[in-house]
Structure 1
Amino acid sequence: MIGNNPHKKLTRFEGLSFASGDLYGGGAQTMIAFFYLRFLTDMVGLQPGLAALIIAISKIWDAVSDPLMGVITDNTRSRWGRRKPWFLVGFFAIIIAMFLLWLPVQFENTSFRAAFVLFSYLFYSTVQTIIMVPYSAMSAEISMDYEERNFVNGSRLLFSQLSTLLAAVLPLTIVSAFADARIGYNVMALVFGVFYALPFLLIFLICNERVPEPGEKARFDIRLFVKPLKLRSFRLLIAMYLGAFLMMDIISAVFTYYMDYFLLRPKELEYVLGTLLIVSTCLVPLVIYLANRLGKAKSFFIFLAVWLLGIALISQVNTNWPNWSIYVIAAIMGIGTTGGIVTPWIMYPDVTDVGELVFGKRVSGSFSGLMTFFRKLSGALAIFIVGQILQFAGYRIPIQEMTGGKLVVTKFLQPESVIISLRLIVAVIPLFLLGVVFFAARRYPLTRELHTRLVNVLKFKRGEQPETPAIKADEEELIRVLA
């Protein structure tokens, strides 16, 4: 069993083992984004506005738990390091959390159903925090080499995209294999719970932490949570990250309704999502290559342009277009989505280096706490926005009846106000968010050349190389430009 080993060379096997943790990071969030609101309205029987409100309430807890976990993981001291003990805890917790999250309770009282959903989502959100905050922090500490980091974090997104594909295609396939959808959801939750949990046991056993532990422990202080936001580089990264994921999550939350009630092709949902995500998965190596070749910000613009084209097309498609057109649009959206969600995570470790320069110590846990919080905020905001719009538009939840000991769900035709709302959600909101992301990306200052100089300054400050006049001048300029 491997603990903290700052000087051990990163092997491909170790890098890929660590990257496999994003099977959970990408897949579980995708299942929630695509299917959870529909699960709550059509299986649990909650009104979309109430379901969305429950998810929004949980963000109050996230605002506390995410920064708290950042400080806890920064302060953890063990024979295995600061991050890895939490992965062993997470191995067991993920399975339980997934089962509870997708348990289709059938209480007669709506308040009881709402209370259970709130409890299960809060528990799931807490488990995600316990795992993903240390995991995100360790992604900046598994190597200090620029290209090794790109390999690890690019591989993370490759695993994430693969898991996203499986999470989009398989859940409803598993559920539909059972005559009773309730049993189908139980089996689906257990299968994916085990699938998401296993990588963290592997990381605990295989991977090294390569940044020395600071001698002084941090105190929990809400100011530590907001401290990374003092950095201009990090604020711009958060704007890019939150905008891109919120855009993706809104389209994801509404898409199952869109395919069912507007395009009238519900049975093709998994195939359309599969097309989008297969393209996304295949293009992750291209994102890494362009980030290394052109720079991360420049490559980001290329994918934003493709994403814009996809959004424009999906906002115009209707039932009169050829059947194959939705698959072409899905492929175009897949290209844009890949760069939009992969690139910010490739940028993230570099920004934690800026934090070390400015703050005088490495507090990756605080950075990752914010990243985890904003990622969960994105998913919750998407469900809240879509749910409230559908509620206001008059969405009619299906009727559930027990027939022959089996649960039968009967859907209604939706009013025209719901159909119009679906079209507005996939067109207007994503275009606005794309503008925000473009604005932030234009101002992102950290280039590859600046990062090389930054690493040299950090090596001097850690005592790994002697001071030179150039390093002193670089330190002052880097703080001015990046902070």
Structure 2
Amino acid sequence: MGRGESRDDMETEPISAKPRAALPLSLRRRLFFGAPAFAGASLAIPIGVLMPRFYSDVVLVPLGAIAVAAALARSFDALTDPLMGWLSDRTRSRWGRRKPYIAGAVIPMALCFVALFAPPEHLDSQRAALWFGASFGFFFLFGTIVEIPYSALGAELADGYQERSRLFGIRSVFAAAGAIIAAIMPTILAASGLSGERTIFRVMAIGYAVLLVVLNAGLLWQVPERREFSERAPNPLIPGVRRALRNRPFRILLLAAIMSSIPGATPAVLMPYFVEYVLGAQEPLAMTGLYLMLYLGAGLLFVPLWMKIAQQVGKLASFITASSVGVAGSLLYWFAGPGDFVFAGSVYFLTGTVSQAGAFLVPAMAADVIDYDELRTGKRREAQYTSFWALVPKFISIPSYTVPLAVLAGAGYVAGAVQNESVLFWMRFMYSLFPAFFYVVALLILSRYPISEAIHEAIRDGIGARAAGGSVEDPLTGAPLRPEEEATVSEEDGWFLDHFSPRELRRLHATGEGGLVRAVLLAIALSLGGFAALTAVA
């Protein structure tokens, strides 16, 4: 094997006898695929925005306990993502490799959501914290079993560069609509005569749980899996992770996602507190719902515009433009103060106009990255990429959900009372300046993303040509990609290349097996120590 060649460059498996054509999806299938996002967003708004204040100010669980329980639950959730992706990719059944998991987990997921927003009233704060941790953790466990196969199914359904934008664009419209309904539903239920936030959230949770089951049933009924993908040989877990990290466009997307995930959940978690204590709203639940409706409604209205822009200038340019507007809006929140309701509403509308752009552009870009991986390796691994894509940012985002609550608790936060200046400062800082900085860093990284529409077409043509037995040129690096039958790597050499990095192989050559084993054990110990430290900080 030549010095500049990797295992990825030479290992393929038969895919097709001819280049794949972009398969246009019917509107019916696009709608049934996108519809579950309506329910998903309906659940996400209460989880991400309303739940922390519900437990801290209504159920009266201390903020520190909420932060610890959420950190533990989300850590476990992150660990299950790669396993679920690996398992889904390897599943072979008469019903497919994605849909059986969705069918089996969606009802338990719905029941856990109801439990999360219907804690028994007789529980004291300690038992309520345990209830929160258990229901929160199981909700995300079953959510992973549903979401990873669902996301992988979306990457498989559409082949074309623009077709993927349309598919995920429709999904983002459903998501925005579901989020808008979720934002205003507490106010609607209160106006209907329901009294008490416990009752309002319990009724809301039951309705969303039913919706989740019904819309996913429609997906299972009307959206078939593509058999040609499920018939391909499964990919081992560890080599799959290593090959994903050799994929340069994937590394760029992943690193950008990590940067944006550092403050990822912070604005959503702090929004009810910002509205009540920084802006001074007398009816914080209703005002939060109004601002969410402005934000999400603007996102829904502007999805067609961003889809049109993406078709004209490409996914990357569209996303960078939209994200720049979002950064500007994030900075403007710093200048909001008591009574600035109109100013804050204007900023929420501004940032909302770009809120759904990433919801369809990033998944569409990720699907193109999976095509590039197929060109290099000959394998389709949608679920493994989807789970790996979710894993690292999800771990990074754990502190973004929990640390703000812990900081407010440390600064002297008192539920329902006038907050001191330290609490107000940290609310404004973490809501505005902190996320804006990391969003800028993410944009700088993402600006190096290399796959345009023309390059994607070259990737698709190369997949077909290489599968038919021809040699092609990597459209990103210019390196030759030879057909499988010309590969000269022995089985033993291939195993080492798949399971160890070049640095680890150099260590093996220099120190023998003992040195490599000690290095791996040290890396495992450091990883566990880092995880323990992250959990402790969170």
Normalising TM by the smaller chain, what interval? Answer: 0.7 to 0.9
Match of 1:212 in 2: 229
Shift in CA distance, 284/375, structure 1 to aligned 2, threshold 3 Å = farther
> Who is 2:294 aligned against?
275
- CA separation of 1:473/1:300 partners in 2, compared to 1, >3 Å: closer, same or farther? closer
| Structure 1 contact 24–196 (Cα < 8 Å) conserved | yes
CA positional deviation for 1:63: 3.3
Does 1:422 pair with 2:427? yes
What is the DSSP-based 3-state SS (H/G/I as helix, E as strand, rest coil) of the residue aligned with 1:228?
helix
Distance 1:157 1:461 in 2: 34
Q: Which residue of 1 aligns with 2:274?
A: 258
Q: Aligned to 1:178, what secondary structure does the other structure show?
A: coil
Aligned residue identity for 2:372: V
Q: Do residues 385 (structure 1) and 403 (structure 2) align?
A: yes
Kindly indicate whether the alpha-carbon contact (under 8 Å) linking 1:58 and 1:121 is maintained by their aligned counterparts in 2: yes
Alignment of 1:118-267 (within 5 A): 118-171=133-186, 173-174=188-189, 177-210=193-226, 211-219=228-236, 221=237, 224-225=240-241, 227-244=243-260, 247=263, 249-265=265-281, 266=284, 267=286
Cα 1:320–1:218 shift into 2, 3 Å: closer
Q: Distance in 2 between matches of 1:230 and 1:172?
A: 49
Residue 212 of structure 1: SS of its match in structure 2?
A: helix
> What residue is the counterpart of 2:372 in the other structure?
354
Q: Which residue of 2 aligns with 1:401?
A: none
Aligned residue in 2 for 1:477: 478
Give the secondary structure class of the aligned counterpart of 1:141.
Answer: helix
* Distance change in 2, residues 1:436/1:86 (3 Å): same
In structure 1, what is the equivalent of residue 96 of structure 2? 81
d(CA) in 2 for partners of 1:288 and 1:473?
A: 29
Q: CA RMSD for the aligned pairs?
A: 2.5
Residues 326 and 357 from structure 1, CA distance in 2 versus in 1: closer, same or farther, beyond 3 angstroms?
same
1:307 aligns with 2:326: yes
The more displaced of 179-188 and 430-439 is 179-188
Q: Shift of residue 142 of structure 1? A: 0.6
Change (3 A) 1:120 1:473: closer
Q: Secondary structure at the residue paired with 1:443?
A: coil
Runs of 4+ in 1 over 6 A off after TM superposition: none
List gaps (5 residues or longer) in structure 2. Answer: 1-19, 482-538
Q: Structure 1, unaligned stretches of length 5 or more?
A: 1-5, 398-410
- Taking only the aligned residue pairs, the percentage that are identical comes to 24
Question: What is the alpha-carbon distance in structure 2 between the residues aligned to residue 457 and residue 76 of structure 1?
Answer: 27
**Structure 2 CA distance for partners of 1:19 and 1:29, relative to 1, 3 Å:** same
Deviation, structure 1 residue 51: 0.5
d(CA) in 1 for partners of 2:434 and 2:109? 33
Aligned partners of 1:140 and 1:349 also within 8 Å: yes
Distance 1:474 1:274, change over 3 A: closer
2:362 maps to what in 1?
344
Whether the aligned pair in 1 keeps the contact of 2:31 and 2:170 (CA below 8 Å) is yes
* Counterpart secondary structure, 1:80: coil
Which residue is 1:460 aligned to? 465
For 1:406, the equivalent position in structure 2 comes to: none
Q: 1:164 to 1:288 in 2, by over 3 A?
A: same
**1:196, 1:75 → 2: CA distance?**
26
TM-score by length of 1: 0.87
Between structure 1 and structure 2, the one with the greater Rg is 2
Residue pair 2:279, 2:339 contacting (<8 A) in 1 also: no
1:328-339 superposed matches below 5 A: 328-339=346-357
Q: 2:51 aligns with which of 31, 36, 43?
A: 36
Conservation of the 8 A alpha-carbon contact between 2:75 and 2:398: no
- The one-letter amino acid paired with 1:384 is T
Residue in 1 that maps onto 2:488 = none
Paired residues, number: 456
C-alpha distance in 2 between matches for 1:387 and 1:312? 21
SS in 2 for 1:299: helix
CA distance in 2, matches of 1:334, 1:344: 17
- Are the structure 2 counterparts of residues 204 and 426 from structure 1 closer, same or farther at C-alpha, using a change threshold of 3 Å? same
Displacement after TM superposition at 1:264 (Å)? 0.9
The one-character-per-residue Cα deviations of 1:51-91 (angstroms, maximum 9, x if unpaired) are 11211112331233111110111111122211111222234
The equivalent position to 2:437 in structure 1, one of 415, 432, 440, is 432
* 2: CA distance, partners of 1:315 / 1:45: 29
Q: Aligned partners of 1:193 and 1:111: how far apart in 2?
A: 26
State the match for 2:494 in structure 1: none
The equivalent of 1:405 in structure 2 is none
Tell me how far 1:120 sits from its aligned partner. 0.5
Matched residue type, 1:153: F
